[in-house]
Structure 1
Amino acid sequence: MCQQYTREILDRYYGATPYHGWEGDEDEGQMGAWFVMTAIGLFEMNGGVTANSEFDITTPLFEKITISLDGDYYPGNKFTIETKNYSGENKYIQAAYLNGKRLKRPEILFSDIVKGGTLILEAGDKPNDKAF
């Protein structure tokens, strides 16, 4: 459900024209930050209130994303998210692999991201209840 609704909100309310935009208060950048995180395929369900946040994984708007990590704060150098079978219609994750290991749940911890590595997502056009 997270994959369906996050993409629906991105497609409906965000865009590069004056006719797109969230109706109402922008909450001092929170809606823009939500867009960035969701556009790279990470959706935080608990609002960042834990020391080691957990992100639901959604299909990104990009084929490949590289996040550079500051070595002064994080152990990893970079974290990459790659989407196989990327297209606008393929908004459902069929499988996900973190550093070569298949994930059993569509979730990733903040601590996994800052260690660095690669998250590979296989996308498809239909929900797959057996993906995880």
Structure 2
Amino acid sequence: MGLYFHGNEQYRHIPYLYNDVGEPWKTQALVRRIQKELYRPIPAGLCGMDDYGDLTGWYVTSALGYLQVDLASEYYEIGSPLFPEVTVKLPGKQPGVFTIRANHVSDVNKYIQSAKLNGKPLNVPRFRQVDMTAGGSLVFEMGPTPNLSWGTQSLGDLPDTRTR
């Protein structure tokens, strides 16, 4: 994968940086390639040292379709989900349920065509943590070719999609 080395935790956020330059389809392609080529269900199937679960944590959240690139930020960057539907049960005083659905997802259909966050169109490749913690849904329409216009809006245009 060129000079990129996924086995070193300092660099695992790099595939998601294409989102910041208006080319999220490159994030989707690279994340999916990493998911499929560098993680294997065999002994020693990880591509590097799993420092305190960081390597497996990357895989788990990336398989759900997102990653928190900047741990001090309130945002999750969107990648390429692996599963048709996942339900995340959230703890707290008022525990919520957040559902992530990727319609038509497959090994071929790895590119996001459109997305809705809590029923509203999401045209940027990120969402806020608060949009998840209250419960709700993130729904992707997936396809076999990159949608070169989805996710290219300015990241400053992130809508308020909280369910409260």
TM-score, with normalisation over the residues of structure 2?
Answer: 0.71
1:85 maps to which of 73, 86, 104 = 104
Counterpart-to-counterpart distance in 1, 2:38 and 2:29: 14
Give unmatched runs, 5+ long, in structure 1.
none
Task: Provide closer, same or farther for how the CA distance between residues 131 and 76 of structure 1 changes in structure 2, counting only shifts above 3 A.
Answer: farther
Q: Which residue of 1 aligns with 2:53?
A: 29
Q: Which residue of 1 aligns with 2:69?
A: 45
Counterpart-to-counterpart distance in 1, 2:142 and 2:44: 29
Counterpart-to-counterpart distance in 1, 2:27 and 2:36: 14
Give unmatched runs, 5+ long, in structure 2.
1-25, 152-164
1:96 maps to which of 99, 115, 121 = 115
Counterpart-to-counterpart distance in 2, 1:90 and 1:77: 29
SS at match of 2:40: coil
If each structure's helix is expressed as a fraction of its own residues, which one has the higher value?
A: 2
Counterpart-to-counterpart distance in 2, 1:34 and 1:19: 17
Matched letter for residue 117 of structure 1: G
Q: Which residue of 2 aligns with 1:111?
A: 130
If each structure's strand is expressed as a fraction of its own residues, which one has the higher value?
A: 1
Matched letter for residue 37 of structure 1: T
Q: CA deviation at 1:32?
A: 0.8
1:11 aligns with 2:28: no
Counterpart-to-counterpart distance in 1, 2:44 and 2:82: 19
Q: CA deviation at 1:60?
A: 1.2
Identity of aligned residues (%): 33
Over the residues paired in the alignment, what is the CA RMSD in angstroms? 1.5
Q: Which residue of 2 aligns with 1:65?
A: 86
Counterpart-to-counterpart distance in 2, 1:82 and 1:76: 20
Counterpart-to-counterpart distance in 2, 1:104 and 1:83: 16
Q: CA deviation at 1:76?
A: 5.1
Stretches of 4+ aligned residues off by more than 6 angstroms: none
